Amino acid sequence: MRLVFLDTETTGIEDGRLVELAFDGPNEDESWRGYFKPPVPISIEAMSVNHITEKMVEGAPVFATSNIPEIVRDALDGNVMVAHNAPFDIGVLKREGVEVGEYIDTKRVAMRLLPDLPSHSLQYLRYALGLEVEAEAHSAAGDVKVLKAVFGLLLGEAKRQMIVDDDGEAIDWMRKQTHEPVILNLVPLGKHKGKAFEQVAKEDRGYLEWMMRQDFGEDIKATVGHWLNDGKH
């Protein structure tokens, strides 16, 4: 199974357009990193995170009219994309005309393998797991370096928890787990934020019943259903 590690930086969270792309493919000629001039302004909020300004991309190519889309498509063709919070990057690429097939979301894999961590963001994992990576945070190129280090650690943890020695078997498990709901340990929002779901189930069952009626996403719905069923799947 061939992997492509990819990260994007955008003009904003909602319907963001591409301003920086980096990916490392299975082969050296399948890797690329650089800036693009987006068709919409870069939001101040995005600049405060990725530090990419309008001036920095003023002379950059427009993604859609460059030869990069075909390079990305070729790199992804028949391979598995690895990204952190992959649905975000998939959405960005789709808006630029690039479709993604198979993928592994390292954030969801980390949530499943390391459920007790209070955060599963890429940079939190970088420091919580003691990864020594020389990389600039919140740049696509830097984040790809961190992503590869996080993936390597998660691969080892997956093999340990599954009690297997084969990388391919563990990677296939990670790919499948990407698409399964995660049973969370801690409540991520609301008045019980930070408490264990198990504790809330004992002390405030009505709150879980309220959460079940809200649209908080599949992970919270699966978790709440798990504890409303007394911790049984």
What pLDDT sits at residue 232?
Answer: 61
The pLDDT tens digits of the residues spanning 85-125 come to: 999 999 999 999 999 999 999 999 999 999 888 899 999 99
Q: What is the mean pLDDT of residues 188-216?
A: 93
Residue length, the chain? Answer: 233
Domains by residue range for the chain, with CATH? 3-177 (3.30.420.10), 181-233 (no CATH)
Contact call for residues 104 and 82 (beta carbons, < 8 A) = yes
Contact call for residues 16 and 46 (beta carbons, < 8 A) = yes
Cα–Cα distance measured from residue 136 to residue 118, given in angstroms and rounded to the nearest whole number: 23
What's the pTM value of the predicted model, to 2 decimals?
0.89
